[in-house]
Amino acid sequence: MHILIVEDEKGIVDFLKQGLEEENYTVSTAFDGAEGLKKALELPVDLVLLDWMLPKMQGIEVCKNIRNEKSNLPIIFLTAKDTVQETIEGLKAGANDYIKKPFSFEELLERIKIHFRAKDEAKILTLGNITIDKSKFQVLVDNNEISLTQREFELLEYLIKNKGTVCTRNKIIEDVWDIHFEYDTGVIDVFMNAIRKKLNLTKDQDLIKTIRGVGYIANDN
């Protein structure tokens, strides 16, 4: 697997590059946003580690531009920022995850492995007029293809696989994000809002309902 590190602090880049190469990952690096965007779009990378504060182009803009071209490329923000608003901003820009500096290499490695974990056997899933084809990473609404990010796709797939059952935010974090430590479950709402907008679903529409204070439930009727 090929990982791109976009980070302007050489010490951090060297530390991450050495650790990831010891784990048998192929690693490319970029020290500013413009170079990072160019490499993300031109190289066959499988995941991007992206710093928030970068010269020439901020990480948030790099993320948006990558997402416009590569909808399912995992992007993990490396950030010293820790406010809910900034987290939401990053996720809305298309990031799959974020990790706050300073972080341990072991924690980062686990986050990376989550995104590389082998998928279940491909199959077709349906919910009302929504169809998911896992083998093609494709979502159709009334036979019209809808573009979702990797994390949006995984969340929608999880809800449909568990339709008829209330999926709590904590359970979603554990099963979809594969995170078993304290984590801000409010990020799920950000992804759900994006999914509803793309699928043209209203908040109270029966296909995916919000269970206030608990989570979500998918139903065919």
| Average pLDDT of the chain, as a whole number | 85
More confident residue, 133 or 4: 4
CATH 1.10.10.10-classified regions of the chain: 124-218
Taking only the tens place, the pLDDT of each residue in 143-161 is: 899 999 888 999 999 999 8
Residues in Cβ contact with 21 at an 8 Å cutoff, skipping those fewer than 6 apart: 27
Model confidence at 164: pLDDT above 60: yes
CATH number for the segment(s) 2-116: 3.40.50.2300
Residues 80 and 34: their CA atoms lie apart, in Å, by: 20
**Residue 128 one-letter amino acid:** G
Output the pLDDT for position 88.
78
pLDDT over threshold 60, residue 204: no
Mean pLDDT on 110-133: 75
What is the predicted pLDDT for the residue at 205?
A: 59
Q: Which CATH class is domain 124-218?
A: mainly alpha
Report how far residue 161's alpha carbon sits from residue 98's, in angstroms, rounded to the nearest whole number: 26
Predicted pLDDT of residue 136: 78
Alpha helices in the chain (DSSP H): 10-22, 33-42, 59-69, 84-92, 105-116, 150-161, 169-175, 186-199
pLDDT tens-digit series, residues 57-108? 999 999 999 998 887 788 998 887 666 677 778 788 888 888 888 888 998 9
Q: Does the pLDDT of residue 28 top 90, yes or no? A: yes
Provide CATH 3.40.50.2300 ranges for the chain: 2-116
Give the Cα separation of 157 and 88 in Å (integer). Answer: 22
The predicted pLDDT at position 120 comes to 41
- Per-residue pLDDT at 87: 74
Residues in Cβ contact with 4 at an 8 Å cutoff, skipping those fewer than 6 apart: 27, 28, 29, 30, 36, 39, 40, 43, 45, 47, 48, 49
Give mean pLDDT, residues 187-192.
Answer: 87
